Amino acid sequence: MSRQYETVIGLEVHVELATKTKIFCGCSTEFGGEPNTHTCPVCTGMPGSLPVLNRQVVEYALAVGLAANCQINQYCKFDRKNYFYPDNPQNYQISQLYLPICHDGWVEIDTASGKKKIGIHEIHMEEDAGKLIHDEWEDCSLVDYNRSGVPLIEIVSEPDMRNADEVMAYLEKLRLMIQYLGASDCKLQEGSMRADVNLSVREAGTSRLGTRTEMKNLNSFKAIARAIEGERARQIELLEDGKKVIQETRRWDDNKESSYAMRSKEDAQDYRYFPDPDLLPVVISDQWIQEIKSRQPEMQPEKMARYQKEFQIPEYDAGILTSTIHMARLFEKTTALCGKPKEVSNWLMVETMRLLKEHEQTPEDLSFSPENLARLIALVDEGAINRTVAKTVFEQIFAQDVDPEKYVEEKGLGMVSDQGALRKAVEDVIAANPQSVEDYRKGKEKAMGYLVGQTMRAMKGKADPGMVNKIVKELLTK
């Protein structure tokens, strides 16, 4: 009988902070841009240049640390991690090893098997590396330092997770928390949130940890789940064969669904950390901590509860609405403008989610303004347009954030409320369909529906169906 194994997983999550400038220089962190257009002597490691710490980085790191129930190192320092690689212009990364800003915290996750606390070992601040582009035409690589020096926090968990579900729940928890704090947009696909997985296996029932490996290059939740499964299987196979797991860093290839060791002869993995003499310690006063605490926004669980209570939104819907800060903000702002929480919720839950799915987008990509959604809701409410038209208009709002009033006017989508014109249209339809009129008079109620439909069609949908119904009935019974 084969032995039972338990998987032990810890995560190192890198999050790009939402600062306007880099961690140690006044270069923009804006995404994109031609190679090396967001660089200066500091973030390209020019001789003689020196780093100066961006205060906002400390504030964001503190906010995340406090939200994750961490202890704060009120005296923290930066260290240099020395290794040669072309994306790292100084050939050392400024990071924190000896005294990271936060340590010993926890977050609570919720999975199918219940609630669980995941320990946070530490959170430290560091700088991101540049980007290596592999040239398609020539046998060379190109280095772009636009991302070099973008601030990161690395959140190191305790080895408290046991399966992919817990890992997903933990990542989701961090993503929501950090997004709510405004400290990062946490987009896994764009690399503003990245996770390395430390994984080991041990025989069920034993308490000693097995040898772990570190898995890098995980670009999506799905890749993480697959990598966990793959690495678990690989390690168990090794142990079953009586072999040993080697402590190493492995790179996950999601296309091949397998990993390979990254170690090379030239890569000694001896980072020679020492305190960076160019940077001074950061001293965090109790007052500073209090200030950050007092500025912490309402987090997702509280928001979700409030939506249920304040707006009578069902639990499931409140969950969806608060699943990203973007959606929650859209909901709150639109509701504040139009005062119709249920209507707003309905537009977000149904049409918005449908369109996101259709466009393969996430709520972070939403770009329409609450004002335009509020106006659309008002137009429907006033009876200026019907629901069918409203859906068409909303698609335009979703895609291009159009002003619904202008759009309806320009495209002539407003409802015809002119009684005379409506009556004329109904009369024309009745005149053109004597058979249906006869059917109705013979008791076929369905025939009336047909006549209403024909009238709506003639009006190109711009009539209030209720009113059309009324007129058809009136004329038929005359």
308 binds other proteins (CB under 8 A): no
Q: How far is the CB of 266 from other proteins (least distance, A)?
A: 4
Sorted by sequence, the CB contacts under 8 Å of residue 185 that are 6+ apart come out as: 18, 179, 192, 364
300 binds other proteins (CB under 8 A): no
Nearer to other proteins, 216 or 473 (CB): 216
List the structure tokens of 201.
Answer: 């296996």
Sorted by sequence, the CB contacts under 8 Å of residue 434 that are 6+ apart come out as: none
| Position among 71, 86, 243, 290 found at the interface with other proteins (CB under 8 A) | 86
144 binds other proteins (CB under 8 A): yes
Query: Which range touches other proteins (CB under 8 A), out of 143-151, 219-227, 338-346, 381-389?
Result: 143-151
Q: d(Cα 390, Cα 367) in Å, to the nearest integer?
A: 18
Query: Quick count: other Cβ atoms within 10 Å of Cβ 255?
Result: 7
21 binds other proteins (CB under 8 A): yes
Query: Quick count: other Cβ atoms within 10 Å of Cβ 221?
Result: 17
Count how many residues are written for the chain: 478
Query: Which range touches other proteins (CB under 8 A), out of 115-123, 135-143, 168-176, 302-310?
Result: 135-143
Query: Which range touches other proteins (CB under 8 A), out of 274-282, 297-305, 413-421, 453-461?
Result: 274-282
Site string for other proteins, 238-257 (x = CB under 8 A): -------------x------
Report CA torsion sign: 69, 72, 78, 79. negative
Query: Which range touches other proteins (CB under 8 A), out of 29-37, 155-163, 223-231, 314-322?
Result: 29-37
Nearer to other proteins, 36 or 469 (CB): 36
Q: Helix, strand, or coil here: 186? A: coil
List the structure tokens of 222.
Answer: 């799905």
Nearer to other proteins, 40 or 467 (CB): 40
382 binds other proteins (CB under 8 A): no
| Position among 13, 167, 188, 282 found at the interface with other proteins (CB under 8 A) | 282
Q: d(Cα 249, Cα 215) in Å, to the nearest integer?
A: 6
Query: Which range touches other proteins (CB under 8 A), out of 64-72, 278-286, 419-427, 457-465?
Result: 278-286
Enumerate the β-bridge partners of residue 93: 81
| Position among 9, 25, 239, 390 found at the interface with other proteins (CB under 8 A) | 25
Name the CA radius of gyration of the chain, rounded: 30
Q: What is the DSSP string of 246-279?
A: ---EEEEETTTTEEEE---TT-------EE-TTS
Nearer to other proteins, 142 or 432 (CB): 142
Q: How far is the CB of 191 from other proteins (least distance, A)?
A: 15
CA angle 293, 296, 300 (to 5 degrees): 135
290 binds other proteins (CB under 8 A): no
